[in-house]
Amino acid sequence: MVAAGGAGREPDEAAHRAAAAEAGPRQTWTALPWLVRTAVVWSACLVVIAAGLYLLARITLLVTPLAIALAATFFLAALLDPVQLALRRLRLPASLAALLTVLLLLGILGGLGVLVWNLTANQFSELGDELQQGLGRTRDFITSTLPVTDQQLDGLIDQLRKAATEQEVDPVASARTVTEVFGSALLALVLLFFLLKDGRAMWHWTLRRMTGPNREVAAEAGRVGWRTLGSYTRGTMLIAAIDAIGIGLALVLLGVPLAFPLALITFIGGFVPIIGATVAGAVAVLVALAANGPTTALLTLAAVIAVQQIEGNLLEPLVMKRQVRLHPVVILLAVTAGTLIAGIAGAFVAVPIAAVAWRVIDSVLRQRQAAAAPRPAPAAPEEPPATANPAPG
């Protein structure tokens, strides 16, 4: 009897120990304060997200020319899509409309290059003398206003010149970089033609492969993302053009050499929010300082600040739609991350990618919330009012 009772208790004790072992981690987890549990969960989520982003960045680095070409293709396609649609309304075939749109882009870029060369080729011969005189005036201004002697300034200039001359240039790496840039540009043009020609057909083909509610979610997210990219691209181009015109006119009025190339640099820098405009303005101020002296440089700085303030406080709220605008902190983080991953090209495409990603995520979340919300019960039909029997005539 005792043996039988002991044998009966052994399974119970084993089950009890197993239940205690299973309940141990649960009891430990529930015993932790809610703040610690929340921190653990969020930390695990951040680790997973960081690992995914790191893996994506590593893959992007391996195929950097392809990634840059794809980003440039979508950027240009969103910019030129209205032109292609206007040509299609003229009853042109899709292939011809796409080809004319790409040729228009190449014509504009080639025309700008020829115009810049014609306007600045004559200034390069005089620029050397102007820079020497401007550097002399700048040197006198620095030594007269700052506690810096001529010997200290000469030593600093010699150190900078020595550091610049000691930089070794690898011809193989330079040739590879030029080849990658040329290949990426050619690939972007070819992809741009096919995206303008068959982009909508490819998107509809992708949607037809989806079933259920995912099709509607993907369709709406695609429409929102494409509208956001187009609005951002065209708005940024308009704002950059206005900045370039304003700063270029100021440079012409102040007599700063190479005003048109500096305006073109300002236009290109406008596609990198905050940082691009700052760098372009600094280049213009440095050229004015070296060529015409401190007074012109201060006037150039005032003109750059005035144009940027008008652009940031008046033009951007009017041109850029509210759903396209991002917080400055998000812009700075996106530009920094893009620069670290892909250099200058990454800085150009980081902000539009962030804007499109945010709008797509927001669209998906809104649709899922709308689908999960309880629908109101249909109202019961109202009974017609009772009418009195007509009195017999």
pLDDT tens across the length of the chain (393 residues): 444 555 555 555 555 555 555 555 677 777 778 888 888 889 999 999 889 888 887 887 777 778 888 888 898 898 899 999 999 999 899 899 999 999 999 998 888 888 877 776 666 666 666 666 666 777 777 777 777 777 777 777 777 667 656 555 566 667 777 787 788 888 889 999 999 999 888 988 888 888 777 788 888 888 888 888 888 888 888 888 888 888 889 888 988 887 888 888 888 888 877 777 788 888 888 888 877 778 888 898 999 888 888 877 777 777 766 656 677 788 888 888 878 777 777 778 888 888 888 888 888 888 888 777 776 655 555 555 555 454 444
CA distances from 337 to 59, 135, 243 (A): 15, 36, 25
pTM above 0.75, yes or no: no
Residues 6+ apart with CB under 8 A from 210: 218
Count of residues for the chain?
Answer: 393
Which run of H or of E encompasses 99?
A: helix 94-120
Q: DSSP state, 311?
A: I
> In angstroms, rounded to a whole number, what is the distance separating the alpha carbons of residues 88 and 82?
10
Contact (Cβ atoms closer than 8 angstroms) between residue 326 and residue 231: no
The label of the residue with tokens 């039988």 reads 4
Sign of CA dihedral 320, 325, 328, 334: negative
End-to-end CA gap in the chain = 105
CA distances from 53 to 44, 48, 60, 69 (A): 14, 9, 10, 20
Contact (Cβ atoms closer than 8 angstroms) between residue 296 and residue 289: yes
> What's the one-letter identity of residue 16?
H
Spell out a b/e string for 174-210, using b for 16 or more CB atoms within 10 Å of the CB, else e: eeeeeeeeeebeebbbebbbebbbebeeeeeeeeeee
